Amino acid sequence: MKNFTFQNPVKIIFGKNTIPQLAVEVPQGARTLIIYGGGSIKRNGVYDQVFEALKGRAIFEFPGISANPDFETCLKVIDLIKKENIDFLLAVGGGSVIDATKFIALASQAEGDLWEILTKNKYPEKALPFGTVLTLPATGSEMNSGAVITKAETKEKRVFGTPLVFPKFSILDPETTYTLPTEQIANGVIDTFVHTTEQYLTYPVGGALQDYFAEGILKVLVKNGEQAMKAPENYEVRANLMWASTWGLNGWIAQGVPEDWATHMIGHELTAFYGIDHAQTLAIVLPGLLDVLREEKAEKIIQMGERVFGISDGSRENRIDVTIQTIDSFFRRLGIGTHLSNYGLGKEAVQKVVERMKERGWALGEHHNITSEVVEKILTKQL
């Protein structure tokens, strides 16, 4: 096991009818800005529950945070924060709303070129405090200190992270997910699945507990993913998916073990160029990446096959093949295509991503050997 230092102070409030606890968790007297997305929270009643809990408080709101939240919109929110002397933020939504809120919490306290927070990790010394009400289980953003922000102007998708942007609390009510479109459920399951494999499908370092935890998350997704789409109001299914998605990226399963994240980094470019949903890009990239890197990831792929999918027969090569095929078919059973052609893309998309990788000079993955040439091989397999 590798050495590590980690702390995750996020307070989790989980379960049915937990949104009223905002009345206790949002500081009394705070001028609070509620940040949300496109209006689904108005249709599913979450918006009303939030406002009911905070009745009589100094509340402001900023709707309209989009998927793959953009830097430019965040700047508008920061203007509002300064104008209204906001001192607490409440993100109500999924990972995009929470990620935007994290950036806004930090950037609102910074001076100078705010884009350098994302390109040069230039962080101010403090951030505005904020809480979250999660309505879309997927990114784990509700219990971590990272976020992804896109510059719409240049189609650049960037990641940042600092303990300053751990939420003070996150409210997770599985019933808020009953009304999600099936495609968003599927995306969330795949996002969590690939978060987990990024921290698990590398090489063995003897982190037995971390492996069991990661495999537990994957088994929950495999068992409940399709069920969630078929039976939207099954509380147990939705509760397990919601809790698993938080654990997929709250940091604990990564401690003491290697991490990959190449699937995410390659996928981000497909989203930035073509607007493909984040999870869809992961579903495209992961099967190809595992096939191209099958030798260096062999032990963990075989372990995952055996422990998550029960694949224990056949030769080493055969077990690797079947495990990758099983992952691929799981994604497809959720209704998410695993090939570029499913999204109307071809060789030119491969070239565009490869060119950007070249520009960046990145060498991704746990062995830092996924260069632009390797990315080309991976995406070509997934044409």
Q: Which residues bind its own copies (CB under 8 A)?
A: 1-16, 18, 21, 169, 206-209, 211-213, 215-217, 219-220, 223-224, 236, 239-240, 243-244, 247, 255-256
CB of 185 to its own copies, least distance (A): 17
Of 47 and 169, the one with the shorter C-beta distance to its own copies is 169
Of 246 and 263, the one with the shorter C-beta distance to its own copies is 246
Residue 344 DSSP symbol:
T
Let me know: does 201 contact 296? Beta carbons within 8 Å.
no
CB of 3 to its own copies, least distance (A): 3
Residue 370 DSSP symbol:
B
**What number of CA atoms fall less than 13 Å from residue 35's CA on the CB side?**
30
Contacts of 181 (CB under 8 A, 6+ apart): none
CB of 279 to its own copies, least distance (A): 20
Of 1 and 29, the one with the shorter C-beta distance to its own copies is 1
CB of 236 to its own copies, least distance (A): 4
Smallest CA-to-CA distance from 35 within 9, 74, 84 is with: 74
Of 107 and 253, the one with the shorter C-beta distance to its own copies is 253
CB of 338 to its own copies, least distance (A): 26
Residue 342 DSSP symbol:
G
- Between the alpha carbon of residue 116 and those of residues 42, 107, 359, the distances in Å are 34, 10, 19
Report how far residue 274's alpha carbon sits from residue 350's, in angstroms, rounded to the nearest whole number. Answer: 12
Smallest CA-to-CA distance from 136 within 46, 261, 50, 216 is with: 46
CB of 20 to its own copies, least distance (A): 12
Of 239 and 290, the one with the shorter C-beta distance to its own copies is 239
Let me know: does 65 contact 36? Beta carbons within 8 Å.
yes
Report how far residue 45's alpha carbon sits from residue 65's, in angstroms, rounded to the nearest whole number. Answer: 18
